[in-house]
Amino acid sequence: MSISPALRGGYKYRGIRMNKKRLFRIIQIGEDTDIVSRGFDVFISATIILNITAMFLETFEELAALFPVFRAIEDITILVFCLEYILRIWTADLLYPESSPLKARLRFLLSFDGIVDLLTILPFFYLSGFIAFRMLRVVRIFHLFRINQNDDSFSVITGVLYEKRNQIISSVFIVCVLMLASSLGMYSAEHEAQPEVYKNAFSGIWWSVATLLTVGYGDIYPVTVIGRIMAIIISFLGVGVVAIPTGIISAGFVEQYTRRENSDIRFDDLSSIGEILVTAENGLMGQTIAQVKTKYSMEVYVVIRNNMTIIPTDRLELWKKDIIIARSDKIDHLK
């Protein structure tokens, strides 16, 4: 029996789609049950560490004889980063299934991961150019953040910072206002007595930062009575200002851990609606919303992922540790 070209084209397209999906799962942060994906994460982590180590050792003139080896290591690791970057752009439509392929790729390119990936490889091609490009090599260190982004402790930190962002921004704004006011005040009080030390308002900013956030650096200090009185007041204010964001973040950690401990609460008073934690054991991990609806006759209302609430679409794929709010007669069997 012959197969029409149209069918062969359909099989080929589905095959490419399946291979692309498998590749996407490999280059994304791997689950414990996916050995290949976890192995890729280990490989990328080792590559990043090797790249940073070579870059670090290149600063020692005593190792000048090994500089060709270090540069070869950088060339190979940058090639790996380039290939990974290309693959992530190609599979971006699976990362953002609710967007069109073009918009999904643009979203990835403008995301934190996309920018870090770009800045990781960009300095290699402009290493002999501006100092700014050479300094961008440090960005490679932030490449490690993506490996840890699904870790529980790391997700708690990022979740707290995101949830308390408005309060943190407000506290930073207060610090900036206080720093500007203290620098101008100190410049006015000390400029005549120490014209070489307090040359301009920027000298006052350096003093105010060292005083507000530490106990003073010692290279600049007031000598007048008014300046010392201001320094005492600003030092006390600095202790309180630093405590504001610390208290906000500490309270956020308590809220996050409390919420996580209670995240598996079931709605025992309602037989057909509840929370389900996605795991490999209950068979939900890796399923799309459409597959879950069909298989379990379930209506999914909300997906909670890394403290973010997602409106489910049929193409949305469930990840490990997602929490779904759903209604189904079979919901008790999945908990």
User: How sure is the predictor about 220, in pLDDT bands with cuts at 50, 70 and 90?
Assistant: confident
* Residue 137, pLDDT above cutoff 50: yes
> What are 235's two structure tokens?
């030092």
Residue ending a domain, choose from 237, 261, 285: 261
Which of 210, 234, 261 terminates a domain? The answer is 261
Distances in whole angstroms, Cα of residue 238 to Cα of each of 145, 171, 179: 31, 12, 9
Q: Are residues 136 and 193 in the same domain?
A: no
Domain count, the chain: 3
Q: Which structural domain, as residue segments, surrounds residue 227?
A: 165-261
Q: Do 96 and 23 fall into the same domain?
A: yes
Q: Does 131 map to a domain?
A: yes
Distance CA 243, CA 248 (A): 9
Domain boundary, last residue among 122, 148, 174: 148
Residue listed under structure tokens 């999945």: 334
Say which residue the tokens 């490690």 belong to. Answer: 144
Q: What is the pLDDT of residue 264?
A: 47
310: three-class secondary structure by DSSP: strand
Query: What value does the CA radius of gyration of the chain take, rounded to a whole number of Å?
Result: 27
Q: Residue 104 corresponds to which amino acid?
A: A
What global pTM score does this model have? 0.51
| Whether residue 294 has pLDDT greater than 80 | no
Give the containing element (helix H, strand E) for 304: strand 299-305
Both 10 and 144 in one domain: the answer is yes
- Helix H or strand E encompassing 327: strand 323-327
As a whole number, the mean pLDDT across the chain is 76
Residue 212 near residue 234, CB atoms below 8 Å: yes
Cα 30 to chain centroid, rounded: 16
